[in-house]
Amino acid sequence: MRNVTDRVSNPFGMDPPCERSVPGYGDANAHFHVVGDHPGVHGGAETGVPFTGAPAGRRLQRALHDAGLLRSTGDEPTVENTFLSYLHTCVPEGEPTDDDYAAMEPFFDAELRAIAAHVLFPVGERAIRHVVETCTAHDADALDPQALHATELLGSGWLVMPIREPADWESDDAGRLVDAIDRLRSTDYRRETDLGRFLAGNDPYLVR
């Protein structure tokens, strides 16, 4: 099923309980979903777009552009089959608490499932741990988020490729990410099975 909307910013009309937020941005039918932490870490408080207006966000944008997931970079990047969002969409005053993240989780989860991307790119330690814990069968506590950078993890209906916190990237981290996404896009990354052979007619019936 495809989402029918021409809205790039907040395509599902999410209304979190805060005065200022940075809603999801991009293709509502994206194959690739980039998940950041919150606007205070990855930017967007002034622009209203995830991964903008902060050094970490700009660094990540350049890598995503080089890997073909953005057609252009900037405060209103042009996406290529990609969606950008945050675990904690509200603009925080200081560092969000665990309770703050818990309050935002229903909004993130609803958007995650509405987009239904094939590949998740969690960015930074908190996003990596959350996505690994909720979208895969791996033990998040047993994994080293730094060591997972640009590697593939099989999830429960998703393929997950963690991205190290861009503010901490070393000289080869951007190149490793671009190369890994290039390799991924050259494969059939969609975790789907055609069950149409079990049904009447010739139409495919794809499930994850």
Residue-wise pLDDT tens digits, 62-98: 999 999 999 999 999 999 899 999 999 999 999 999 9
CB atoms within 10 A of CB 170: 9
Across 166-178, average pLDDT: 96
Place of tokens 């099975």: 193
Q: Can you give the pLDDT at residue 207?
A: 39
Buried b (16+ CB within 10 A) or exposed e, 109-144: eebbeebbbbbbbbbbbbbbbbbbeebbeeeeeebe
Residue 208 has pLDDT above 80, yes or no: no
Radius of gyration of the chain (CA): 17
In the CATH scheme, what is the homologous superfamily, with its name and number, of domain 25-207?
Uracil-DNA glycosylase-like domain (3.40.470.10)
- What digits encode the pLDDT tens for the residues 16-55? 999 999 999 999 999 999 999 999 999 999 999 999 999 9
How far is 186 from 177, CA to CA, in rounded Å? 14
What are the residue ranges spanned by the domains of the chain? Answer: 25-207
